[in-house]
Amino acid sequence: MIKRSCSKALKKRPIMPLGAIKSKSKCQYGPTNTYILSSPIGNFEVICCQNGIHSMGQIKEITDETFRVEKGKEVKIVSQLYKDNGYIYTPLIKLCQWLQIYFTGGSEVKSLPLPSICFASFKEGTFTGKVWKTLAEKVGFGETVSYGKLANLCGSPHGSRAAGQAMRNNPIQIIVPCHRVILSSGQIGNYTGGRRNKVKAWLLEHEGSFPPEVK
């Protein structure tokens, strides 16, 4: 039998949000927050600071087996790890707007600036970081590039294996468009280590570049 005072205390105990018991991680620009966003291709988890996006990827439950497309599903914030009194970092709001246009207007995103990336999260000064940055800035909507050509764009003609490695570790899905990197044979190659090849095919089709042209 639970004492009256004790059961009362249990009833009154607030449910602690995860953010209240974990300490925030930081970059040189300040603390980050983690957001879940809805989208037509499922939910994304995004980590962001006030300076820009640190990482973005579909939630881990999404694989080729579970992948479903909900046409017209709005891009919006489903939840955020730290409540921050309802404050949302500006780069995250811009990212939502950008993604909404990406999914509904398609190539209209070409005329928009890329969402802000916090380069503190990129491996600055490394070949990997250079590959991510080059891909994000030079391979636009509806374009594809082979691993070898991407390595070339980064000034390393023999770096296609390293470029492939960088793609496997891509921290920012879609914004760093690793889905646009294909095999020189014209096959689309793997996505997320081969677990989301259907997602890669869908993204390329959405951008009007499936099957990719071999150049």
Long-range contacts of 110-116 (CB under 8 A, 24+ apart): 110/140, 110/141, 110/142, 114/175, 115/52, 115/53, 115/91, 115/175, 116/51, 116/52, 116/53, 116/91
Q: Is the separation of the CB atoms in 135 and 176 below 8 Å?
A: yes
Which stretch in 13-21, 72-80, 114-122, 125-133 sits in contact with Zn ion by CB under 5 A?
114-122
Residues in the chain: 215
Interface pattern 179-208 for Zn ion (x via CB under 5 A): ------------------------------
Is residue 6 part of the annotated active site? The answer reads no
**Which residue number, 49 or 172, has a Cβ lying nearer to Zn ion?**
49
Tokens encoding 47: 């980590």
Q: Evaluate whether 188 touches 197 at the Cβ level (below 8 Å).
A: yes
The 22-41 site mask, x for binding Zn ion (CB under 5 A), equals -----x-x------------
From the list 37, 46, 47, 49, which residue makes contact with Zn ion (rule: CB under 5 A)? 49
The Cα–Cα gap between 170 and 43 comes to 18
Shortest CB 64 distance to Zn ion, Å: 32
Minimal distance, residue 171 CB to Zn ion, in Å? 12
Among 56, 92, 95, 118, binds Zn ion (CB under 5 A): 118
Task: State the number of CA atoms in the 13 A half-sphere of 129 facing the CB.
Answer: 11
Q: How far is the CB of 121 from Zn ion (least distance, A)?
A: 6
Q: Which is nearer to Zn ion, 118 or 204 (CB)?
A: 118
**Paired residues of 46 in beta bridges:** 35, 56
51 lies in the site for Zn ion, by CB under 5 A: yes
Give me the active site residues, please: 178
Residues at the interface with Zn ion (CB under 5 A) = 27, 29, 49, 51, 118, 120
